[in-house]
């Protein structure tokens, strides 16, 4: 680690091992992570243990999914020279700290977490009445605090988890009050939530089947855009439309340049352009974004071992950083290894 790395604030974030990523994952998180590498000392984690909390019954795809996530990260521009890219399940300190935190975390804190209640109600095909699922946010707190991260870039849905992380940090520091607090209280850095619609106009999500994948080749991107829903008021070519209520209009706002945006605004409202043409421009913008990623991905796709090597090297670095924190944790709790004599 260089000395400049020491003075930079530390960031940790993660994604569950869900397989190939889509544009929503990119806009909602990954794009932001890529930018943060310039300013922060970054740790990016493939959260395969977190994937287990809901998908414990079938682990047949989990390793493959972790690799797919890693490939998309590297394709998007996460840089192993600048950032620590690693896999959670091979840094055992996460589990150790999770256990210690579980001793001091009141059940009520966990039962109150909004995602807990929501998912218990919404996910009916799996039994989520498990200890591990309830403890999900405690594991997340361990993920963050084992690196003493200062900042956690997350979307809106994860803010409650970072809040709980701060509460756990505060409690640990209070209970095991050493002269110096062991843990910082990390802040969430909210990713400005661009509303990214999928092809059916609902939020882009794997479970809706309305995604554009980062790996979709150009013809697939163009085809998906062709069938995308538009302003429902624009039935005929001669009807004027409104890009502000059109999912394709939303895509333009996120991905198109000012000139194209102006043409869309003017042409749509005056019925000067057709939706097919407008969708073509949106597809152009997406292809322009995805092309360089797919170029970068090729090398790793042809030789996935390269990506695993990156993950393994990152995991080694993560273990070292996590190990340093665990020394402090044990010392604060009076449980360091080594004989200290009778008290």
Q: Catalog residues that contact ligand TRP under the rule CB under 6 A.
A: 12-16, 47, 50, 140, 143-144, 152, 154, 158
Name which of ligand SF4, ligand TRP, none residue 140 binds, using a CB cut-off of 5 to 8 Å depending on partner kind: ligand TRP
Nearer to ligand TRP, 47 or 248 (CB): 47
Q: How many residues does the chain have?
A: 343
Which one, of 90, 86, 143, 94, lies nearest residue 310 by Cα?
Answer: 86
| Contact residue for ligand SF4 among 22, 50, 279, 297 (CB under 6 A) | 279
Name which of ligand TRP, ligand SF4, none residue 275 binds, using a CB cut-off of 5 to 8 Å depending on partner kind: ligand SF4
Name which of ligand TRP, ligand SF4, none residue 91 binds, using a CB cut-off of 5 to 8 Å depending on partner kind: none
Number of Cβ within 10 Å of residue 73's Cβ equals: 27
CA torsion 333→336→340→343, rounded to 10°? Answer: 20
Nearer to ligand SF4, 54 or 265 (CB): 265
Q: Give the strand order in the sheet containing 41-47.
A: 83-87, 41-47, 10-16, 151-154, 187-190
By CB atoms closer than 10 A (0-12, 13-18, 19+), residue 30 is buried
146 lies in the site for ligand SF4, by CB under 6 A = no
DSSP SS3 for 40: coil
| Shortest Å distance, C-beta 87 to ligand TRP | 12
Distance CA 301, CA 36 (A): 25
Binding-site residue total for ligand SF4 (CB under 6 A)?
14
Letters for 243-262 (x = contact with ligand SF4 by CB under 6 A, - = none) are x--x-xx-------------
Name which of ligand TRP, ligand SF4, none residue 241 binds, using a CB cut-off of 5 to 8 Å depending on partner kind: ligand SF4
Name which of ligand TRP, ligand SF4, none residue 278 binds, using a CB cut-off of 5 to 8 Å depending on partner kind: ligand SF4
Q: Which two tokens stand for residue 187?
A: 């802040």
Complete DSSP assignment for 143-166: HHHTTT-SEEEE-GGGHHHHHHHH
253 within 8 A of 282, measured Cβ to Cβ: no
| Contact residue for ligand SF4 among 241, 286, 315, 322 (CB under 6 A) | 241
307 lies in the site for ligand SF4, by CB under 6 A = no
Kindly report the backbone phi and psi dihedral angles of residue 238, in degrees, each rounded to the nearest multiple of 5, phi listed first: -85, -10
186 lies in the site for ligand SF4, by CB under 6 A = no
Q: Kindly list the residues in this chain that would bind ligand SF4 in the complex (CB under 6 A).
A: 230-231, 234, 241, 243, 246, 248-249, 264, 268, 273, 275, 278-279
């Amino acid at each position: 680690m260089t000395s400049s790395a020491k003075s930079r604030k530390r960031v940790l974030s993660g994604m569950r091992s869900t397989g190939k990523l889509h544009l929503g994952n990119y806009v909602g998180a990954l794009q932001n992570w890529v930018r943060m590498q310039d300013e922060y000392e970054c740790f990016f984690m493939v959260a395969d243990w977190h994937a287990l909390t809901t998908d414990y019954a079938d682990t047949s795809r989990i390793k493959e999914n972790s690799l797919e996530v890693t490939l998309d990260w590297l394709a998007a521009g996460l840089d192993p020279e600048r950032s620590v890219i690693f896999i959670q399940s091979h840094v055992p300190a996460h589990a150790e700290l999770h256990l210690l935190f579980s001793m001091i975390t009141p059940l009520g804190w966990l039962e109150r977490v909004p995602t807990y209640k929501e998912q218990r109600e919404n996910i009916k095909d799996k039994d989520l009445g498990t200890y591990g699922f309830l403890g999900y946010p405690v594991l997340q707190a361990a993920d963050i605090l084992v690196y003493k991260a200062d900042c956690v870039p997350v979307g809106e849905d994860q803010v409650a988890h970072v809040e709980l992380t701060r509460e756990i940090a505060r409690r640990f520091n209070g209970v095991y009050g050493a002269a110096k607090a062991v843990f910082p209280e990390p802040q969430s850095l909210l990713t400005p939530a661009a509303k990214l619609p999928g092809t059916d106009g609902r939020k882009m999500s794997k479970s809706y089947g309305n995604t554009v994948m980062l790996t979709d080749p150009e013809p697939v991107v163009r085809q998906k855009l062709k069938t995308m829903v538009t302003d429902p008021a624009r039935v005929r070519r001669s009807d004027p439309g409104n890009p502000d209520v059109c999912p394709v209009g939303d895509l333009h706002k996120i991905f198109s340049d000012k000139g194209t945006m102006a043409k869309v605004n003017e042409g749509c409202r005056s019925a000067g352009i057709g939706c097919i043409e407008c969708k073509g421009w949106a597809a152009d913008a997406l292809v322009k974004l995805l092309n360089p990623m797919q170029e970068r991905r090729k090398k790793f796709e042809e030789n996935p071992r390269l990506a695993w090597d990156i993950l393994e090297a990152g995991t080694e670095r993560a273990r070292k950083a996590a190990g340093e924190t665990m020394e402090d944790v044990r010392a604060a709790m009076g449980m360091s290894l080594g004989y200290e004599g009778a008290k």
